[in-house]
């Protein structure tokens, strides 16, 4: 195995960025050698040097090369030293705190007359330290380095002191912390050993390739003198490891040090096996992906013709069918008079044509959206708003369409992307998520619920497009350690997908359909009103879906325990504080948008603030801006243009009049239930956003024409149902992302059957919640 692979295989995954960058330094060596060869060749072509001058030239080149390489080594060494010092301080402080707690536990039950000297740490203290036996640490084999000193004292065996009177409840948490500290200290020891070996090997390679003699001098003057590699530092670390062994012996094995060390080594071995198994699967997965690029065969169908059999790509055939069907329907509708005015007929043709293209995904969704303003202008479906309703000319229609496309809602979407980008780029979203997940424990049912809630909360702030991507990356350590046939893997993935769909309800920026809903609500609801309805609704929906998944998959029956996720211990820096402050201020202003309407005018203006705060300071760059989901933005803009055309042409009013006749005897609850059922079916088969684009304008108009007008309530409830439609893999981005998840062997975790069996019932449960609890909440807040 190459040493670069050995580093990857043996490194602590969470510390991967702090090891010596062996591969990069190796590339630098080859680059230096190439430059030296080319430089020597050029000089030999241009000038004739005497032998002494040639020797001097080569000596200068070697010195220059050594300076360049030494500078790179210095930078890496400094990074290693700083990281080691930080981790050492953290772990030693935590161990000192653990010792103090054990001392207090010991003193609380030690007889007052006892006067012998008891030692736990390096220094004897009378009366108040537990008598932990001493023995040289036996974790050196796992750590990979020889003991540097420390230890001493008596050998293994037992002490005369018994801790049988200590209750299990008082020691269980201390025992767990002691094991964790032993593992982390052993990993820190391995970190030192692996980096020391890496320095020796990279310097040896440099000397061999460049014919230099840098290794001896640099090792003696820099590496050996660095803090992590000093003998005193190693001795101190060995003593701390022995201290955890004595603590564990006192807590767990009745002061039997031999048994304590054996148990701790078993815990360390189990941890190392788990980590290396995870890394091994990563490496195998990456290799498999590289080897299979372009190898997969498309789904082909065979058609028999008089000239023989013909193979056609199935997906291409379906797209061709939808394209031909949509064009035929479009041409026919342009010729048929269904409505009273030509603008309405032509707009209806555009609406049906775009809907078929979106449903069949003949072209990317955003490309179809861009086709909408072209058809709207060229077919002249826009009318004036002066009361005469005259058809607008192409130039006037163009101005009207483009003015509507770039609306405050689009700025709200851009502001949400900026916040999501900053939270993701600086690790805030991941740190918060891993902190919560680390508290979930090891029971699958509880881990499933916590992951679902994390996905919902993440969707609230970074959209339900980005949230499942984040959550699926966080659960990879869990998935990689499960058996191939485990039912918990599919259960966890589909749980996150369904929770992300429900999370699409939670805030105005959590999904594009919410942006479209706000566009159709007059006046637009405040963030506080939205939260008051959406958050309780999504929490209740998550609990119901979780209970159903636990009943459906029974994950604990096959997998009683899983490996816990470790929270990040990285300190919070000033940049993260700044990002959090900007995010909180923006959200507060969004919540109070109606209060400060005279200042800001609209939430879209407030959305510009995070864009300036993050891009103006350089925290987000041009590349981050280019990485925004511009396809979603274009889709939303095309949908707004279509909605404006449907309204301006009079088609919206004509459709609303006909639907009004059907629901004239219904109350608001019955209308909401009817539209919820309709949208549930539509949004299950086509994009949530597309369903919102088509249905919400009609819902708003019908709601405004009711005897008891409640258009905002109907629009919000219908928008919630767009998010709650999750019965098929194509029902929303979270489901599409979930169906694409594969194990290390390339086998998908989920199938369409999983979504039909679990997604459709979950959608029905969500619809019941929206039309009952949601209706009550929307009534309470005045919608």
pLDDT at 445: 87
pLDDT at 8: 56
* Position 146 confidence tier, pLDDT thresholds 50, 70, 90: very low
Cα separation, 651 vs 346, in Å, equals 9
Lowest average pLDDT, out of 92-101, 119-128, 197-206, 747-756, goes to 119-128
As given in the structure block, the two tokens for residue 630 are 């511009």
Residue 54 has pLDDT above 60, yes or no: no
Cα separation, 638 vs 266, in Å, equals 61
pLDDT at 293: 36
Residue 528 has pLDDT above 90, yes or no: no
Q: 3 vs 77, which has greater pLDDT? A: 77
Residue 710 has pLDDT above 80, yes or no: yes
As a whole number, mean pLDDT of residues 394-403 equals 88
pLDDT at 775: 92
Q: 597 vs 121, which has greater pLDDT? A: 597
* Position 60 confidence tier, pLDDT thresholds 50, 70, 90: low
pLDDT at 311: 63
Lowest average pLDDT, out of 55-69, 356-370, 570-584, goes to 55-69
Q: 378 vs 635, which has greater pLDDT? A: 378
Lowest average pLDDT, out of 344-353, 508-517, 546-555, 729-738, goes to 729-738
pLDDT at 599: 85
8 Å CB contact between 770 and 676: yes
Query: What are 117's strand-pairing partners?
Result: 126
pLDDT at 366: 81
Chain length of the chain: 783
Residue 123 has pLDDT above 80, yes or no: no
pLDDT at 145: 36
Lowest average pLDDT, out of 129-133, 368-372, 524-528, 672-676, goes to 129-133
Lowest average pLDDT, out of 223-237, 378-392, 475-489, 575-589, goes to 475-489
Residue 436 has pLDDT above 80, yes or no: no
pLDDT at 495: 93
pLDDT at 322: 81
Lowest average pLDDT, out of 40-49, 91-100, 708-717, goes to 40-49
pLDDT digits (tens, 9 = 90+) for 475-505: 776 776 677 678 888 999 999 999 999 998 9
As a whole number, mean pLDDT of residues 722-730 equals 82
As a whole number, mean pLDDT of residues 622-642 equals 80
As a whole number, mean pLDDT of residues 153-175 equals 52
Residue 663 has pLDDT above 50, yes or no: yes
* Position 47 confidence tier, pLDDT thresholds 50, 70, 90: very low
Share of the chain above pLDDT 70, in %: 75
Cα separation, 178 vs 186, in Å, equals 12
Cα separation, 520 vs 722, in Å, equals 15
Residue 58 has pLDDT above 80, yes or no: no
Q: 576 vs 421, which has greater pLDDT? A: 576
pLDDT digits (tens, 9 = 90+) for 268-309: 776 665 555 444 444 444 444 433 333 344 455 565 556 656
With CA atoms as reference, report the closest residue to 603 among 592, 614, 615.
592
Cα separation, 645 vs 694, in Å, equals 12
> Containing H/E element for 381?
none
pLDDT digits (tens, 9 = 90+) for 541-580: 999 999 999 998 888 887 777 766 666 666 788 888 998 8
CA–CA distances in Å: residue 503 to residues 340, 410, 412: 42, 20, 18
Mean confidence (pLDDT) of the chain? 76
Residue 642 has pLDDT above 60, yes or no: yes
* Position 534 confidence tier, pLDDT thresholds 50, 70, 90: very high
As a whole number, mean pLDDT of residues 610-634 equals 85
8 Å CB contact between 590 and 610: no
Cα separation, 415 vs 408, in Å, equals 10
Handedness of CA 452, 358, 696, 766 (dihedral sign): negative
pLDDT digits (tens, 9 = 90+) for 446-481: 888 988 998 898 888 767 776 777 677 677 767 766
* Position 45 confidence tier, pLDDT thresholds 50, 70, 90: very low
pLDDT at 163: 47
Burial class (CB in 10 A: 0-12, 13-18, 19+), 248: buried
pLDDT digits (tens, 9 = 90+) for 172-207: 777 778 888 888 888 888 888 888 888 888 888 888
* Position 768 confidence tier, pLDDT thresholds 50, 70, 90: very high
As given in the structure block, the two tokens for residue 152 are 């001493």
3-class DSSP string for 25-46: HHHHHHHHHHHHHHHHHHHHHH
Residue 513 has pLDDT above 80, yes or no: yes
As a whole number, mean pLDDT of residues 206-227 equals 85
User: What is the DSSP annotation of 517-577?
Assistant: HHHT-SSPPPHHHHHHHHHHHHHHHHHHHHHHHHHHH-HHHH-S--PPPPPP-PPP-HHHH
* Position 4 confidence tier, pLDDT thresholds 50, 70, 90: low
């Amino acid at each position: 195995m190459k040493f670069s692979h050995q580093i990857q295989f043996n490194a602590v995954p969470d510390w991967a960025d702090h090891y010596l960058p062996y591969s990069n330094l190796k590339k630098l060596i080859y680059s230096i050698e190439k430059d030296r060869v080319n430089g020597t060749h050029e000089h030999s072509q241009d000038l004739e040097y005497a032998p002494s001058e040639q020797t001097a030239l080569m000596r200068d080149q070697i010195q220059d090369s050594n300076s360049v390489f030494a500078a790179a080594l210095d930078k890496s060494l400094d990074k290693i030293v700083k990281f080691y010092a930080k981790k050492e301080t953290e772990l030693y402080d935590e161990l000192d705190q653990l010792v103090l707690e054990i001392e207090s536990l010991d003193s609380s039950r030690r007889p007052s007359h006892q006067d012998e000297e008891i030692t736990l740490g390096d220094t004897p203290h009378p009366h108040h330290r537990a008598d932990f036996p001493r023995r040289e640490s036996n974790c050196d084999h796992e750590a990979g380095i020889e003991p540097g000193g420390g230890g001493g004292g008596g050998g293994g065996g037992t002490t005369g002191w018994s801790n049988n009177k200590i209750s299990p409840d008082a020691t269980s948490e201390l025992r767990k912390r002691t094991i964790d500290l032993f593992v982390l200290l052993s990993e820190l020891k391995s970190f030192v050993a692996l980096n020391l070996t890496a320095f020796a090997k990279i310097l040896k390679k440099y000397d061999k390739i460049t014919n230099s003699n840098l290794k001896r001098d640099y090792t003696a003057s820099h590496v050996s003198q660095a803090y992590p590699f000093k003998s005193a530092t190693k001795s101190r670390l060995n003593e701390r490891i022995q201290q955890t062994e004595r603590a564990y012996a006192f807590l767990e094995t009745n002061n039997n040090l031999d048994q304590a060390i054996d148990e701790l080594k078993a815990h360390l071995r189990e941890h190392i096996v788990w980590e290396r198994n995870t890394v091994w699967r990563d490496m195998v997965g990456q290799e498999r992906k590289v080897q299979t690029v372009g190898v997969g065969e498309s789904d082909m169908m065979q058609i028999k013709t008089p000239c023989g059999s013909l193979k056609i790509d199935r997906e291409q055939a379906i797209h061709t069918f939808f394209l031909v069907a949509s064009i035929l329907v479009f041409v026919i509708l342009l010729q048929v008079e269904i409505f009273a005015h030509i603008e309405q007929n032509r707009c209806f043709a555009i609406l049906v044509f775009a809907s078929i293209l979106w449903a069949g995904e003949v072209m990317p969704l955003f490309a179809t959206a861009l086709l909408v303003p072209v058809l709207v202008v060229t077919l002249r479906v826009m009318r004036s708003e002066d009361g005469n309703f005259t058809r607008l000319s192409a130039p006037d229609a163009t101005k009207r369409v483009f003015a509507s496309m770039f609306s405050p809602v689009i700025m709200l979407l851009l502001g949400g992307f900026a916040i999501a980008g900053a939270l993701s780029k600086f690790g805030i979203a991941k740190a918060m998520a891993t902190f919560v997940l680390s508290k979930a424990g090891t029971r699958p049912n509880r881990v499933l619920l916590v992951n679902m809630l994390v996905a919902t909360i993440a969707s609230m702030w970074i959209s339900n497009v980005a949230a499942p991507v984040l959550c699926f990356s966080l659960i990879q350590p869990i998935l990689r350690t499960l058996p191939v046939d485990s039912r918990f893997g599919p259960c966890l993935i589909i749980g996150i997908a369904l929770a992300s769909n429900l999370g699409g309800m939670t805030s105005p920026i959590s999904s594009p359909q919410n942006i479209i809903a706000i566009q159709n609500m007059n006046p637009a609801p405040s963030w506080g009103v939205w939260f008051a309805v959406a958050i309780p609704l999504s929490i209740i929906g998550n609990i119901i879906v979780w209970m159903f998944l636990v009943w459906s998959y029974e994950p604990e029956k096959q997998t009683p325990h899983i490996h816990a996720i470790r929270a990040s211990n990285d300190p919070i820096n000033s940049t993260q504080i700044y990002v959090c402050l900007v995010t909180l201020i923006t959200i507060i202003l969004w919540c109070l948008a109606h209060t400060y309407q005279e200042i800001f005018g609209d939430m879209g203006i407030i959305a510009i603030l995070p864009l300036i705060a993050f891009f103006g300071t350089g925290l987000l760059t041009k590349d981050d801006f280019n990485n925004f989901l511009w396809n979603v933005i274009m889709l939303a803009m095309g949908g707004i243009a279509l909605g404006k055309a449907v309204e301006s042409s009079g088609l919206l009013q004509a459709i609303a009049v006909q639907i009004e006749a059907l629901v004239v005897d219904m109350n608001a609850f019955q209308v909401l239930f009817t539209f919820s059922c309709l949208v549930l079916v539509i949004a299950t088969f086509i994009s949530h956003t597309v369903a919102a684009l088509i249905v919400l304008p009609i819902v708003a108009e019908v709601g405004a024409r009711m005897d008891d007008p409640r258009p905002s309530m109907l629009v919000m409830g219908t928008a919630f149902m767009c998010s709650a439609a999750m019965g098929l893999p194509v029902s929303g981005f979270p489901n599409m992302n979930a169906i694409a998840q594969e194990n290390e062997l390339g086998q998908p975790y989920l199938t369409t059957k999983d979504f039909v069996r679990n997604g459709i019932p979950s959608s029905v449960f969500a619809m019941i919640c929206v039309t009952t609890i949601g209706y009550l909440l929307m009534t309470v807040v005045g919608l």
